Structure formats: structure tokens, C-alpha cells
Structure 1
Amino acid sequence: MSKEIYFEDYEIGFYRDSTGRTITETDIVIHAGQTGDFYPHHMDAEWCKTQEFGQRIAHGTLIFSVAVGMTAGEINPVAFSYGYERLRFIKPVFIGDSIRVRATIKEKKDSPKRPNFGIVSELVEVFNQRNEVVLACEHLYLVEKKNA
């Protein structure tokens, strides 16, 4: 689906929530294969028993990637992803944890380089099944202005 949402139409404080998704061992194995990150924190169950968390943890980059996909919905032909800032892996995510995402419009400002566009900042928070924030970042959008 496609829907035009111009810079002026974004409202500070507006948020959207995703549905949930359970992180599986398969997710971790596939991500390790795609990235080459086979560190024991993700792959070695016996070694992890001797470490602080006592079990394997999902790659932070896996949780970030899944969260980005969970927030993808309507296509906005007048907005483009401009990048992500302040990415933090706050708590570990374990095999069997279920995550959900909340994306909240945090800030709007004019683009310093493109006067016909504005920059919209969206706070992205990933929660586990205990409602703890496990990942947070800011997603920046470059969005066309109506009267450009």
C-alpha cells in the first residue's frame, strides 16, 4: 500500500505499534551465516552457561534488522529513510523472547541541505515480553514538503 504523508502532516508524539514476533534459534543461525558473526555468545550454548547471561543471546544487529522490518508498512513515496542514529542494545534478547516495536515521532526540522524537504526523527523502541526496552534508536526520514 502507498500513502503520501508530507512533512507538514507528521505530528510530534504520534506513535505506531507493531505486532509481536518471537526470536528463534533459526533466526540466530541464519543471521550468523549472513553476517559471519559466529561469536560464542550467539552460537555456543555450553560456553554461554559459564557467562553472565547463562544462555545464548541474539545478535544486536539481528534484533535491529527484525525491528526495522516490523515497522515497515505503508510505502510513502514522498519520504525516504535518511538513516539511523543513537542505536543502543540495552538488554539482551534470548531465544524464545518475543519482541514488539513502538515508533514515535520525536522531532521535525528543516533539512539544511534540501530546502524542499524536512527531516522527521522517529524514536524506535523494541520491547521484550516483559515490557523492557531491549533496543532503542532514532530513525530519520527525509520528507518532501507540500509547498515545495
Structure 2
Amino acid sequence: MAGVYFDELTIGQTFRHEIRRTITETDNVWFSAITHNPALLHLDEEYCRTQTEFGQRLVNSAFTLGLMVGISVGDTTLGTAVANLGWDEVRFPKPLFHGDTIRVETEVLELRDSRSRPDAGIVTFLHRAFNQRDELVAHCRRSGLQRKRPAASVA
């Protein structure tokens, strides 16, 4: 198990995730298509080249959000998460384009014991994604229910 237990986390703890990902045209078009998002900003190169300030297609922001959180899972919640409770304050301060490479950092913002589950706690993470120029391209707060370390069994 790669994730960490609730009681191993500390407020202010920061994870700099090793996984980096270059976003391809296939990623963007496939994700937009399977989620039934027909936005011209993601699918129509000619429209974007001639009718937008960007001059090219933008990466679907829902894909960016999923990738940012997904990159964090191995270091934080893999095998220790009970449930994702929600995303708040999701922002995309700069666009991503085909060929951009992102890296992700995660900071622990809040910790509290669960009132209904003595074997778990609620953690709030701040995820931040940066492009290859170290520009902040996305960030969000994510809350989750995280398992506590199991009590050692007595023989």
C-alpha cells in the first residue's frame, strides 16, 4: 500500500509527486468525447486558431482536474482512502495545451477525527498543478475520509 494513514499526516505536510504527465491531443479529444462535451475549445482546431485568443485547442479542465488529483493518489490515499468527500475552490488560472507537461504538489491543510467513524479521519488536501514553465495551471481543495492506522493485534 502506497498511501498514508490519517494519523501519519500532519498539517502543512507537502508531497511533491514524482509522476509527471505530458498531455496529448488524444487525451483531450478522447476525454471530451467520452464525457459528451462538444465544446469547440477542446475539439475544433480551426475555430480555436481563428476565433479565440489562444490560437489552439485548450485541454478540457475536467481532464486537468482528474489528472491533478489522480497523480496525487499514489502518495496520499492509495489503499487508505475510504471515500472522496468533495472538491472545493477548483480553479484554472492558466490554460493547458496539447504537449504541456504537468507536475503536482499536495499540501495537507486540515485534519479532524471523524465523528461517526472512530477508525477514520477527515483530511483536506490542497492540490496544485504546474506546467513545464512552473506556472500554476490548476488548484483545488479536496476532502476525503481516510483510514487510521489499524491497531496492532495482540497475540
**Interval of TM-score (by shorter of Structure 1 and Structure 2):** 0.7 to 0.9
Q: How many percent of aligned residue pairs carry the same amino acid?
A: 36
Match of 2:63, SS state, is helix
The aligned counterpart of 1:141 is 144
Aligned residue identity for 2:93: I
TM score, norm. by length of structure 1 = 0.86
Which ranges of structure 2 fall in alignment gaps of 5 or more residues?
none
Deviations 1:58-95 (A, max 9, x none): 00001111122211216334643222211112211001
The aligned counterpart of 1:28 is 28
Equivalent positions of 1:66-77 (< 5 A) are 66-73=67-74, 75-77=78-80
Q: How far apart are the structure 1 equivalents of 2:98 and 2:149?
A: 45
Q: Is 1:14 matched up with 2:16? A: no
TM score, norm. by length of structure 2 = 0.82
**Kept in 1: contact 2:80–2:146 (CA 8 A):** no
In structure 2, the CA distance between the partners of 1:76 and 1:89, relative to structure 1 (3 Å rule), is same
C-alpha RMSD over aligned residues: 2.2
Match of 1:107, SS state, is strand
Aligned length in residues: 146
Q: How far apart are the structure 1 equivalents of 2:70 and 2:147?
A: 23
In structure 2, the CA distance between the partners of 1:145 and 1:66, relative to structure 1 (3 Å rule), is closer
Which ranges of structure 1 fall in alignment gaps of 5 or more residues?
none
Aligned residue identity for 1:56: R
Moved over 6 A (4+): none
Q: How far apart are the structure 2 equivalents of 1:97 and 1:147?
A: 41
Q: How far apart are the structure 1 equivalents of 2:81 and 2:95?
A: 36
The aligned counterpart of 1:64 is 65
The aligned counterpart of 2:38 is 38
**Kept in 1: contact 2:81–2:144 (CA 8 A):** no
Equivalent positions of 1:57-136 (< 5 A) are 57-73=58-74, 75-77=78-80, 79-111=82-114, 113-114=115-116, 116=118, 117-136=120-139
Q: How far apart are residue 32 of structure 1 and its match?
A: 1.5
